Amino acid sequence: MVLASQQPEHANRPRRSDASWTDCIHRPWVILISLLPLLAIDALGIARVAGSPDTLARRQLHGLLGFFDVPPTLAMASTICIIGAILLTWHLLQRDPWRLRPLAPPGIALEGAAWAIPLLILSYLFSSATLAASTTSESIAALPMVDRMLVSIAAGLDEELIFRMAGIALLHTVLVNIIGLKQATGTMLAIAGTAVLFSWYHDPELSNMPQLVFTLLAGIYLGVIYVLRGFGTVVWAHVLYDVVVTATLP
Separation of CA 229 from chain center: 12
Confirm if 51 and 45 have CB atoms less than 8 A apart.
no
Q: Give the residue-averaged pLDDT of 119-146.
A: 72
Q: Is 195 left (phi over 0), alpha (psi -120 to 50) or beta?
A: alpha
Q: Indicate if the pLDDT at residue 155 is higher than 80.
A: yes
Per-residue model confidence (pLDDT) at position 115: 98
Which one has a higher pLDDT value, 249 or 204?
204
Distance CA 100, CA 117 (A): 27
Structural domain boundaries in the chain = 20-247
Compute how many other C-beta atoms are within 10 angstroms of the C-beta atom of residue 234.
28
- 80-114: per-residue pLDDT in tens? 889 999 999 999 999 988 988 999 999 999 999 99
Q: How confident is the model at residue 10, as a pLDDT?
A: 47
**Residue among 80, 56, 93 at smallest CA distance from 235:** 80
| Sign for the pseudo-dihedral over CA of 72, 78, 80, 85 | positive
**d(C-alpha 43, C-alpha 77), whole Å:** 7
Task: State pLDDT tens for residues 158-217.
Answer: 899 999 999 999 999 999 999 999 999 999 999 999 999 999 988 888 888 888 999 999
Distance CA 178, CA 193 (A): 16
Model pTM score: 0.88
